[in-house]
A = this chain, B = another copy of it.
Amino acid sequence: MRKVAVVGGGAAKADKREASWRDLVQEAGKAMFDDVDNMSPKDVDSIFVGAAQPERFAFLTYVAPLVAEYIGVTPRKVLARTELACVSGQAAIRYAWNCVATGMSDIAVAIGVEKMYPPDMAEAQTSMACVLDREWDGVNSISAPPFFAITAQRHMYEFGTTKEQMALVSVKNHHYSSMNPLAQFQKEVTVEAVLKSPVVAPPLNLFDCCPMTDGSAGIILVPAEKAKKYTDTPMYPIGSGQCAIGNVINNLASLTEWIPLKLAAKEAWRTAKTTKDDVDIAEVHDCFTISEIMEYEGLEFCEKGKGGKFIEEGSPYIGGKVAVNPSGGIMGCGHPLGATSIYHTIEILRQFRGDVNKGRYVKGAEIGIQHSLSGAANQHSIIVYGREAK
């Protein structure tokens, strides 16, 4: 089994874009190939496309050959689209990683894309409604905001977490995204602004929620021993953890403890031969402010129930215990489903390179994790990246 390296990445500006699904792919593809040396699209032998719902958002399916055509790649070893809702992009990376590791592919692209602002937004909203279990939970009006609202209510009740603590997540992440040129939101917010923003599902206000986003992002993976041909600054996937328990909400392991996250993290540390204490950068899935607080806990950056306190004390800021979402997270950067994990993978690559604005640079970082979750937080996925191969 070969070690694998990520040698470059590029992305389209995330936003509500005046650009088609295909435009987004081309913008990301160009940025990605511009980011590596000595490689043309013709050298790529495999492509993996992360896309959550092109069928409903863009009336497109069978998108892997379509994306290949648009970025000038002729896949001749492996190709597929991967879908795992909000984790679709990371699933594409993991497929690519395994194929390069086995030698089935020598140069692979993992690229994600989502166009979430179609002409008819009602169509987009009904699309989102089938991510959670449509037949059992959908009929009870459980889509993402109500589900995470229930989670937040219960977390407040059990652990005394406050709306102000949750708001701090939004403040932190918008602070960092204000310095990220790829991000959807380039403005800071205050605790007061979060608390005064319109109620979406109590206790979650508008600025407790990530937005819908158009975007595309891609990375290139090669065998580690060939990485230096393409870049001076590769990074290496060194560990993986993924776990799902249940689908319908009444089959979840717990509401306020994300067991699949704990198990995925355990497997990630095991396979990476590392621990949570070695993590310098954690790009995690802050789809709602409560999510990030529960991720501090699930990743064991702090004790169970102390996530609110953790941010209150400044621990997830750069210079604190661990830099969480120095990109600005999903909250600040936007959440183009199939592309999200890949945007945040590129963030880790650029952090390792020192290729980010000074105000959000995590100097000397050696280990970064990229975490995504989907649906009713019933599935969590982590890839651990190292600045050095292990």
Contacts and interface: CB of A to CB of B under 8 A. Distances in A.
A84 interface: yes
Contacts of A289: none
A303 interface: no
Contacts of A102: 1, 98, 101-102
Given A68-B247, A247-B69, A83 B61 contact: yes
A79 interface: yes
A74 B53 CA distance: 24
A80 B84 contact: yes
Contacts of A85: 61-62
Taking residues whose C-beta sits less than 8 angstroms from the other chain, chain A's interface range is: 35 or more
B130 A59 contact: yes
Nearest to A271: B104
Contacts of A94: 78, 80, 104
Interface in A34-82: 52-53, 55-56, 59-66, 68-69, 74-82
Given A55-B55, A102-B98, A130-B61, A243 B76 contact: yes
| Number of identical protomers | 2
Interface of A: 1, 22, 52-53, 55-56, 59-66, 68-69, 74-85, 91, 94-95, 98-99, 101-104, 127, 130-135, 240, 242-248, 251, 263-264, 267, 271, 374-375, 378-379
A242 B56 contact: no
A81 B74 CA distance: 23
A62 B79 contact: no
B61 A244 contact: no
A95 to B, nearest CB: 5
Nearest to A99: B98
B131 A61 contact: yes
A130 B98 contact: no
